[in-house]
Amino acid sequence: MKNLLFSFLLLLYTQNGFTQQSNKPKLQAMYDAIKAAGIREPDFVMGQCIQETGWLACKKCCLRYHNLFGFYIGKNKCKKFSSDSACIAYYKNWQDKRYDKWKKKYPASDYYHFLKHVKYATGDKYTNELKPKVVWVRKNLQL
């Protein structure tokens, strides 16, 4: 039983690593689009994209609606976008409406705090899940 569990965990771990590497050109292109749109803190935002879309590979998430960041209408309905670029433009607008006011009030705080402050992240669980993705972005993509 231990060997079966170990094998499963090993498969899960290596599968995640494979997804990261096989999608690297797609992830780089998405990061480049986020930067080109003028979004602040693009490494954090790309981390959000990875978190919300399962490395741009999920089948049962909002990605099928070009929703790269997990925006919802109401409690449980994915916001639908006509394209990835429409979603990126929406994020830029969403961020612009909130970021400067927050930065003025909390100049020494980081983007994790911003996401909590604007209620995008509802707690530390999201931050803890996001941090390794941001580290991966900084280490593996051309910033």
pLDDT, tens only, 51-98: 999 999 999 899 999 999 999 998 789 999 999 999 999 999 999 999
d(CA 34, CA 18): 23
d(CA 56, CA 51): 9
- CATH level 2 (architecture), domain 23-140: Orthogonal Bundle (1.10)
pLDDT value for 7: 41
Residue 143 or 66, more confident: 66
Q: Which residues pair with 77 in a beta bridge?
A: 73
Q: Cα angle vertex 137, ends 131, 143, to 5°?
A: 130
d(CA 138, CA 131): 11
- 45: buried, middle or exposed (CB in 10 Å: 19+, 13-18, 0-12)? buried
Question: Once rounded to an integer, what is the mean pLDDT over residues 34-47?
Answer: 98
- Which of 82, 34, 79 has its CA nearest to residue 61? 79
**Residue 15 pLDDT exceeds 50:** no
Q: What is the separation of C-alpha 132 from the centre of its chain, rounded to a whole number of angstroms?
A: 11
Q: Residue 106 has what DSSP assignment?
A: -
| Domain edges within the chain | 23-140
Q: 78: helix, coil or strand? A: strand
**Residue 35 pLDDT exceeds 50:** yes
